[in-house]
Amino acid sequence: MFCSILSAALLGVDSRLVEVEADVSEGLPMFSMVGYLSSQVREAQDRVRTAIKNSGIRLQPKRITLNMSPADLRKEGTSFDLPIAIGILGAYGHLRPSSVENIMAAGELSLNGEIRPVRGVLPMALMAKESGCRLFLVPRENLKEAQAAGGIAAYGAGNLNEAIDIIEGRSILEKAQDEERYREGGGEGQKNDTEPLRHEREDFSDILGQEAGKRAAQIAMAGLHNILFIGPPGAGKSLIAKRLPTILPPMSEEEQLEVSKIYSIAGMLPKGEPLLKTRPFRAPHHTVTAQALAGGGRYPRPGEVSLAHRGVLFLDELAEFSSSTLEILRQPLEEHSIWIARMGGSCMFPARFVLAAAMNPCKCGYFPDLERCICTPGQVQRYLGRISQPLLERFDMCVEIPKAGYDDMLSAPPGEDSAGMRAKVCASMEIQEERYRGSAYRYNSDLDGEGISRYCAMDREAEEIMKSAFYRLDLSVRSYHHVIRTARTIADLEGSSIIRGGHAAEAVCYRSADRKYWNRGGIY
């Protein structure tokens, strides 16, 4: 008898529908599986057979043939165990043919028949919703994740027998109680609502002094500008960077779903938290490989740039990263997504993040404090030279974070806290949303030359300042654009519709370091 059931294969951040077809016929007892399967999927036959046996179901020795279509799509992972088991049971006649119709399942089986959680349930649930499945069966641990997609009847099963009951419709009425039970048992879902979120324990008011750095951070977040912090060790560059997500507005539902999808595929969704509510903050160590940063593997998985989607990617010790790793960032910074082509197929991961980076000004870290810096001019230049010009140009803003003085530590008034800063950032983002409605841009940092001439009106004084800065400070055209974009954000923070002189002047102060300036080695 023939039976087919739906499942899904992950492809980048999306999934594709896979039909699992099982046929049981008379003949020599054997189990053959076809359909471009990886060895993980091929191993399913042993798990499935044993799990069925240990669930108390006896299968007659017959010839079992299993096909997964489309046959040209490589299937990987262990999420096909459950659909294969259901397909076989259906083909043996243990399930009513009508009950298996139009349902989707995903889950890994253990030998005793228990169903184990798998990664990527969220995008699968979205797929199930899209293709109009009547039921989506997932491991119990993944139920919340599946429900987060909304609009799909998702059921969680703890073991194979429960799964059969659900399919046969025997326990559907109990579903509500079942969920209740799970929630009480797990309890984690609720705990998270009351406990402060990860970022919120960190606050900008923890940082004493460093007003200039904090101000720059606020501007950067308000327009989603990439920012580079330069300063000696221990000055507080990382402290500031870690607090950047705390002043970004909360994610919209759409954004939460987008980000959670990526984490679901990476298998990194926290237990009991089906949707990520806080903006991601990723700080890969400087020994990170290009693959880990970009994403990859034979079957592409999201890398750090995608895990930082809608959040902040922080690269501490920028100069210590290998240059080939850093060059990877160019495409995602430009296009807000990254294409990964591998043997298992090519796919696109979203990567819209704010890049924040911190670096020492030289090897010993104390330049331009000539009393303490022990580097030769050549060493300073070599150190700075590790950052390629094209990458430097991706930073709209750059600010020096000097070592805090004793006065700063003791007598500085407690600075603004994250909540206050976030309120201003949110307000300026609303202004941007309003202004760019219906255009190709979304934030000030997205503006290109054309956008600048359209949206960045300046008053006379600002124009004069920009003109004189262009000549006197020898700005390149690109850094001129950076400055205008930053000035636009400063104006938005103050609720001004045109860029005034003060906004332009302040933006010039945070301009990014360009090569001319870099090579001159500053003080020398």
Partner 1 sequence: MVSDGKEEAWLWLCSQQGLYYGGIQKIISRFGDAQAAYSAGDEAIRECPGLSLKIKNELAGRRRGKAFLREYHKWKKEGIHFISAAHEKFPERLRNIPESPFGLFVKGELPCPFRPAVAVVGGRKCTSYGKNISQDLGRKLAEHGVEVISGMAYGIDGFAQQAALDAGGASFAVLGSGVDICYPISHRGLYGALADRGGLISEFPPGSPPAAYHFPMRNRIISGLADVVVVIEARMKSGSLITADFALEQGRDVYALPGRSGDELSAGSNRLIAQGAGVLLSVPAFLEELGYGSADAPKIKKCNIGLETNEILVYSCVDLQPKSLQELVTETKASAAAVAEALIRLELKGLIKEVWKNYYILRDE
Q: Which residues bind partner 1 (CB under 8 A)?
A: 209-216, 230, 361, 367-368, 370-371, 376-378, 381, 398-402, 404-405, 407-408, 412, 465, 468-469, 472-473, 490, 502, 505-506, 508-510, 513, 517, 522-524
* Beta bridge pairs of residue 227: 356, 397
Helix axes 211-223, 418-436, angle to 10 degrees: 30
Q: What are phi and psi for residue 22, nearest 5 degrees? A: -125, 145
Nearer to partner 1, 75 or 500 (CB): 500
Q: Are 268 and 260 in contact (CB under 8 A)?
A: no
Number of residues that make up the chain: 524
Both tokens of residue 355? 């890049």
Q: What are phi and psi for residue 122, nearest 5 degrees? A: -60, -50
Q: Closest approach of Cβ 373 to partner 1, in Å? A: 8
Nearer to partner 1, 18 or 490 (CB): 490
Q: Are 7 and 18 in contact (CB under 8 A)?
A: yes
Residue 122: count of CB within 10 angstroms of its CB: 27
Alpha helices in 336-417 (DSSP H): 377-385, 389-392, 406-411
Nearer to partner 1, 182 or 367 (CB): 367
Nearer to partner 1, 63 or 403 (CB): 403
Q: Closest approach of Cβ 202 to partner 1, in Å? A: 20
Q: Closest approach of Cβ 74 to partner 1, in Å? A: 49
Q: Closest approach of Cβ 371 to partner 1, in Å? A: 6
Nearer to partner 1, 6 or 465 (CB): 465
Cα distance between residue 19 and residue 163, in whole Å: 18
Both tokens of residue 84? 């294969």
Cα distance between residue 444 and residue 452, in whole Å: 9
Collapse the DSSP code of 522 into the 3-class scheme (helix H, G, I; strand E, B; otherwise coil) and give the result. coil
Q: Closest approach of Cβ 361 to partner 1, in Å? A: 8
Q: Closest approach of Cβ 521 to partner 1, in Å? A: 8
Nearer to partner 1, 94 or 386 (CB): 386
Q: Closest approach of Cβ 398 to partner 1, in Å? A: 6
Nearer to partner 1, 346 or 468 (CB): 468
Query: Tokens 């993040």 map to which residue?
Result: 353
